[in-house]
Amino acid sequence: MKIFVDADSCPRQAREIVLRASARTGVQAVFAANRPIPGVTGNTSIMEICPAEEGAADNRILQLAQPGDVVLTRDIPLASRLVDASILVLDDRGQVYTKENIRERLSLRDFMVSLAENGLRGKRVASYGKRELKAFADSFDRILARLLREKA
């Protein structure tokens, strides 16, 4: 079991929660990005530096992640591919992506991209604050505890 983090767009506070959980549980955390991410250190965490190409970090996560792992990403197309591969995925706001909800999320994301491409502004995502961080921490802790129980 491993924790993978799509680290390019992951908020610092969420990364810190993953790092602490990794150190506490001994579960390896793999941070994938096309540049070094500050603070990714420790015996249980590694930094996967990917080429500076579009989707390189996503592809590396897809290459490495297996069922039983958990992936943290806000990239909905990546989340969709991971869910299709039976890998547990959540975003930095605590939303767990499942086979039941990923198609709707992907459709909404595609609609928003279409609006933006046509010069229309969609609804902006609210800032990342204490409420969002707490929702992530609670969801991540529940998932990690469940996976550790299943592994034991």
Quick one: tokens of 18? 């993953």
In the chain, the domains with their CATH numbers are 2-98+127-151 (3.40.50)
Q: Return averaged pLDDT per consecutive 10 residues of the chain, 152 residues in all.
A: 94 95 96 93 92 93 96 94 96 94 77 73 73 96 93 78
Amino acid identity of residue 117, one-letter, is E
Residue whose structure tokens are 């609670």: 138
> pTM above the 0.75 mark?
yes
